[in-house]
Structure 1
């Protein structure tokens, strides 16, 4: 994985904005929040603050993941949305390209995860001390070389989808941490947050936001 942080430039696609919510399509390669040190200061949150000064963080996507990300524009919205994520009331759908052919068309990965301390920020499966982590998957299409899958995380652990796919023996293509042998062969990690369903903080109406995968 390159140590040089070189985030993509250009406009951030706005999917929805109202008095409580801001929903964007995060580009791959851009941090959600600032990293440690001035060289990692440029991130989605600080870019959005220029146009939406009251923007507040609710959840994150990994730097190398693209797709739908929601922010609150008020303290109430941040609390309301945060509670939905905490209670697993949001519904998230990801699309990924993974190495090899997944034999089962649908399935569930139920493997507890914990941080791999000597190799932070990597995560690993640990049946003794790991936190419960569950991902459902459905194969969209498959060849001997790769499979295109929809992933439905039931929990929201760090790197969950990446580690779960690796645990199945089918790492996400272009993943610098868990599929390093393919990282140089792809322009980015092939993981995209395609859809997010949530209840609006003002009135509780169920809403769905989508962004088509760029791969």
Structure 2
């Protein structure tokens, strides 16, 4: 798991979470991220804790606070919408244009088996910005920026405009899930204004292996930036 650390300083750690690994224990999946966190203490007396979460099948940037005060600061940034999250998705179908905002309230529903989210006028306000980055005759490569933080938000919103994410067996069942068993949703980049007098820490997660073939078909050129696009890590480690 250490090889998946994209960024670390005195307060924060950003991990490249693999697809298929839950962030918490629960359900039928016995393996979860919490089993590995003790190995990411890097000299501190306690393991890092989640500052937010990703779905089990979503890969990419996941932020942790390294101690209680750090977690409190990060929690406030996430709660006030100051953390900018950018996702890449490969979808079945083309969106209505080159860019836009999906502004549709979402609510949780609990049928007989399991639960999922749906667009509901009486649900919680939810908004997602999107931009078309590439396409084939059938697939689209979209950049998405959630402006709110609802569960499954990007997955539901994209499905609601006729663009379910490849591999989504819940919101794209019978269409998108037939192309791949793997969800093609990746937390590509995160920008955290962690230090008031410094530029935001911007971290980019490399494209997960299960995404590469379809991204290439949509025009992705395999060019990867440095994982940390902000100031050098060593300038703010403060750990000696």
**Separation in structure 1 between the aligned mates of residue 84 and residue 143 of structure 2, nearest angstrom:** 13
Corresponding residue of 1:146: 139
Asked if structure 1 preserves the Cα contact closer than 8 Å seen for 2:37 and 2:47, the reply is no
Corresponding residue of 2:40: 51
Corresponding residue of 2:12: 21
- The ranges of structure 1 where at least 4 consecutive aligned residues each deviate by more than 4 angstroms after the TM superposition are 201-205
Q: How does 1:1-215 map to 2 (within 5 A)?
A: 13-36=4-27, 39-52=28-41, 53-118=46-111, 120-128=114-122, 130-181=123-174, 182-200=176-194, 205-214=199-208, 215=211
Equivalent residues, number? 203
Unpaired stretches in structure 2, ≥5 consecutive residues: 212-240
Asked if structure 2 preserves the Cα contact closer than 8 Å seen for 1:20 and 1:201, the reply is no
- For residues 58-93 of structure 1, give each alpha carbon's deviation from its aligned partner in whole angstroms, at most 9, with x where no partner exists: 110000100000100110111111111110000000
Asked if structure 2 preserves the Cα contact closer than 8 Å seen for 1:194 and 1:210, the reply is yes
**Separation in structure 1 between the aligned mates of residue 179 and residue 121 of structure 2, nearest angstrom:** 33
- For residues 99-147 of structure 1, give each alpha carbon's deviation from its aligned partner in whole angstroms, at most 9, with x where no partner exists: 012231001100000101225431011102x000000000001223110
**Separation in structure 1 between the aligned mates of residue 38 and residue 126 of structure 2, nearest angstrom:** 32
Structure 2-normalised TM-score?
0.79
Residue 202 of structure 1: CA displacement?
Answer: 8.4
CA RMSD of aligned residues (A): 1.8
Rg (Cα) greater in structure: 2
Residue 176 of structure 1: CA displacement?
Answer: 1.6
Asked if structure 2 preserves the Cα contact closer than 8 Å seen for 1:12 and 1:24, the reply is no
**Separation in structure 2 between the aligned mates of residue 120 and residue 136 of structure 1, nearest angstrom:** 28
